[in-house]
A and B are shown apart, each in its own frame.
Chain A
């Protein structure tokens, strides 16, 4: 029976092979229903005390008390209803960290409604399960099916996410696609005092994005060998979140954090047929995704005055900003897998192929949204030959200024994978696979060309940059000396070949040794390298010599290298590639140093060690431990140089009785990232020597940074019955500490060099800290048969320090910059709940 009972095992919406939405729970009960079940005091079996262990050695859970179904003719029904109230007497209820993905409000809640109907005569069943904490934190699902025949399921789920609990946007129209300044602020003409006053007067508010999702799925057996399935979901995101907004540098223009409206929907569909016979298996599937955004862009007004530092230069008073939103996109993917068993070699060979397409053709917004003029004038702001660096907004704020009206972007993907696994003897397993992936940009270049003016390039930062620095971020003519203006987009075709060959040897019935050789060839287009090669060897040892112990050890060594590293692969996409381009007398300025090695393109050596052990201390007690190390050393003088991570965990579990469970864990993990960069030394930015140590990037301007992250974790769970009363308690602790220390070769490396003495120096940022302590205590008291009362208290306290937001509690207008989000805040909340549990 090839795929018999697959329906029984497949999860709620998709399955473990395709799609998401496999689980719907909430913070009140992440297990989605088992928290309210009662452990069976009789345990698992009459034949012996205690619990069996899984093959790895973990203790199985004790079963719950079997339900007492009501009989309705052929049907039997049973379930749980849990209703009650939440009380949040004190605390920071709107804190973003506290409310992330949960929305605990004071008031009545539906803790759980879970009811099942079964018809034993033919295996038909129906189930409804739901929970409602608030309007934004709820889920409901209904399932109907026949075991081994078919299943249909529908669900609705709302998931909250508060992204800022202390936002102070100055604009009117937050949440819409048009942000306008309030009275008291003049677009493009507000004084710093006026901006500071408006920011201070702005009311503090919450910004959130809620996901509302609905879905329907169907799966069925066509025959004992063939199954078919189809799933469709529709998700809407609504809300607003802090976002950027660029009007050049503070003091000259201004930088601000705007508010982006979130109003989109995504329809995901997948479906297919699966076959599992005695010799062959087949899997044919389709996946599609259709994203739609209600907005193509949102606009915002800038309060900042444009002020050019160039003597005699008059800045155009641009103030209208725009931000494009994500384009609508469609995605299709077809995939097929054929697998043939090889009985003579006790193995199988499998071939998979996939073809996909992602595309969008959104109408493009105009290059700029200004009125009047942009750029700089000398003497006046009148258009004409006397002001060659002044632009006419009317020639750029229209779609007619585009080389193409819509995006017409498309990427085709393809994949072929062939693999074979053979077990020629009971001791040996031989494995091998080859995978080919390709990503092709199928649309022609988008040319940044304005047919109205005959100019190439784009207007940077909503016209603010050319209105402050004459000629910068200003479109160029056909014949120009400006060489670094982007004039077309960059296709990023990628091809990957991945191959692995390995063997596993069970040299006795307690030990298995394995080795796997890997090779990966990555070929990106228009990147610093055109070919990157990974070679790896992985060693595996599994030991079960001791009945009480299972030990798994894996070690991997990987070396990545590639062809010549081109620090500037983008020349054909900038104005230097225009016909008639004549470089400046000193040559074309370089865009970066030749010593830079971007870490995704860099060569590196990697060592990984992974050890996992599960030990039965006693029949009712287990200890599990793991240790992991991952060290990557990059070949880079500038860029990422080292990235090491490691972790260690220790878990203890004790099940002394069927109704008593205790567990605890300790954990630690760390990361260390080392990088280096170098400041450019020439004020005019016209350096033509890319070498490290040259006049553009002198050694004296090099600096190094070490980012260390340390995380400490601990937790404990207790669940015990005292007489008829069940007591459960939990504790969870996380302490994260991140430090960033630096050193530099000389003051020229610094953003603000005048404040330090000559010569090398060093220092550190203040630690970034995140500490959360949470406790829960619950008491479940039986009232009458089938009815119990659960009273619980949940306390959570969070402390956070983040130097990105220092001073934001005093003002959101700092140093000529206007911010909306106040950053993460410490919090403390206590929730008391009373839930009446009725076994239906």
Chain B
């Protein structure tokens, strides 16, 4: 049977951030450096609240504790707490629990990571960043996600193991991003796409959702550098280069998916004819006559189209390749 609120508040331990059992078996190792300085989070809404310890939390939240126990956060925090009983567990993230234990329905009495928990987004993210700032999150402040009022807990849920890695709120990185970016996720269902629906890569292979030096949150400083991470053969530099290719892969490719072959933005030959109007060379209009079943089958339309001859369109290292023929 569950305790009543009054029984619970009367039974609060005077001190101690974890249960006595843990303390009695602890203090055998130094805390891991990643947790050595963990402390009770600051909850500006209730500055007078005091820590109550994990045991008090689990008196009501036993089921949450059962799920939390098998997360990496729990493994690290419990081990740190064994080594140093002043290192909290629940209250490292949720702040001091005394006010919440006495008035659990008071919004914001602990730091809550939910929509209506009463804790401002900024307080939620700042609490996470107390431990997680820097590194991949170095440019969180001012990033598009921060400015659009996202909280860490929109994408992460460390209270249980919902994903094999990353303490994600959904089952995968891609499913997590699709919560808001379903329109982008759908593009990967098109005829040509990166191997994302097949689980072979993730949005976070190209984008850093925590902020970066680029507006689209790319993990590198340019579009091309991002693409070269998996397509190093395109890096060159080639003896003869195609200017829009060196400028940005996105001039010709739609990175999330396309109805054309090889992620092309538009069908060949029209993709090329947006820029090329050479004399005695294909600047004329082809019609269905030029297809394989037309009256004038034309290699500028069929199959690879322009790329049948200009095959090395990403750049050629052949001395006879200024026009990417070789």
Contact = CB atoms under 8 A, between A and B. Distances in A.
Interface string B217-249: 001011001001110111111111101101110
Given A9-B166, A407-B238, A804-B305, 15 more contacts: A10-B135, A27-B197, A61-B162, A121-B29, A146-B79, A147-B73, A221-B34, A274-B135, A297-B318, A358-B236, A413-B221, A512-B149, A705-B273, A804-B291, A817-B297
Contacts of B170: 61
Interface in A235-283: 242-246, 249-250, 255-257, 264, 266, 268, 274-276, 281, 283
A46 B63 contact: yes
A178 B304 CA distance: 21
Interface in A724-741: 732, 734, 736, 738, 740
Contacts of A350: 138-139
B67 A4 contact: no
B221 A415 contact: yes
B205 interface: yes
A15 B135 contact: yes
A509 B120 contact: yes
A788 interface: no
A210 B66 CA distance: 43
B50 interface: no
Contact of B279 (A34, A223, A243, A589): A589
Given A552-B149, A803-B288, A446 B239 contact: yes
Contact size range, A: 35 or more
Interface in B75-132: 75-76, 78-80, 82-83, 104, 113-117, 120-121, 124, 130-132
B237 A324 contact: no
A824 interface: yes
B241 A490 contact: yes
B295 interface: yes
B221 A742 contact: no
Given A324-B326, A458-B319, A492-B246, A44 B311 contact: no
A173 to B, nearest CB: 18
Interface string A698-720: 00010101010101010000000
A750 B284 contact: yes
B151 A60 contact: no
B138 A283 contact: yes
Given A53-B115, A806-B291, A121 B284 contact: no
30 contacts: A8-B73, A9-B156, A16-B219, A19-B229, A23-B199, A33-B164, A34-B163, A34-B171, A55-B115, A121-B28, A159-B200, A221-B34, A244-B304, A255-B308, A323-B318, A326-B317, A333-B225, A350-B138, A354-B221, A409-B238, A462-B320, A494-B246, A612-B180, A669-B183, A677-B274, A680-B278, A752-B290, A755-B296, A804-B267, A805-B292
Given A326-B233, A492-B246, A504 B141 contact: no
A632 B256 CA distance: 19
B164 A592 contact: no
Contact of B63 (A44, A679, A696): A44
B266 A42 contact: no
Interface in A133-161: 146-149, 159, 161
B237 A360 contact: yes
A25 B120 CA distance: 36
A834 interface: no
Nearest to B128: A9
Contact of B285 (A21, A326, A354, A679): A679
B45 interface: no
A221 B135 CA distance: 12
Interface stretch (A200-208, A311-319, A379-387, A764-772): A764-772
Contact of A17 (B136, B142, B151, B268): B136
Looking at B61, B159, B287, which has the most chain A CB atoms within 10 Å of its CB? B287
A149 B34 contact: yes
Contacts of A35: 171
Contacts of A15: 135-136
A742 B266 CA distance: 14
Nearest to A16: B136
A626 B292 CA distance: 41
Interface in B135-193: 135-139, 141-142, 147-151, 153-154, 156-157, 159-167, 169-175, 179-180, 182-183, 186-187, 189-191
Q: Sorted from nearest, which 9 A-B pairs have the closest CB atoms?
A: A148-B34, A244-B311, A25-B199, A807-B292, A30-B199, A17-B136, A147-B76, A276-B134, A1-B37
Contacts of B161: 63-64
A181 interface: no
B172 A639 contact: no
A105 interface: no
A231 to B, nearest CB: 12
Given A324-B316, A591-B278, A736 B288 contact: no
A102 to B, nearest CB: 5
A679 B221 CA distance: 40
B142 A649 contact: no
A326 B150 CA distance: 43
A592 B277 contact: yes
Given A542-B149, A755-B295, A410 B237 contact: yes
A807 B297 contact: yes
Interface in A578-610: 589-593, 596, 598-600
B171 A31 contact: yes
A638 interface: yes
Interface string A44-63: 11110000111111101101
A3 B135 CA distance: 8
B246 to A, nearest CB: 5
B172 to A, nearest CB: 5
A768 B259 contact: yes
Contacts of B169: 54, 58, 60-61
Contacts of B149: 55, 512, 542, 544, 550, 552
Interface in A744-769: 744, 749-752, 755, 763, 765-766, 768
B259 A738 contact: yes
A565 interface: no
A25 B113 CA distance: 29
A715 B199 CA distance: 18
Interface stretch (A86-94, A184-192, A365-373, A778-786): A365-373
Contacts of B23: none
B217 to A, nearest CB: 9
Contacts of A85: none
A5 B131 contact: yes
Contacts of A448: 319, 322
Contact of B208 (A16, A23, A58, A118): A16
A30 B205 contact: no
Contacts of B115: 52-57, 547, 550, 616
Looking at B70, B199, B289, which has the most chain A CB atoms within 10 Å of its CB? B199
A338 B239 CA distance: 37
A94 to B, nearest CB: 17
A162 B200 CA distance: 15
Contact of B182 (A362, A502, A651): A651
A249 B73 CA distance: 66
A195 interface: no
Interface string A607-649: 0000010101000000010101000000000111000000111
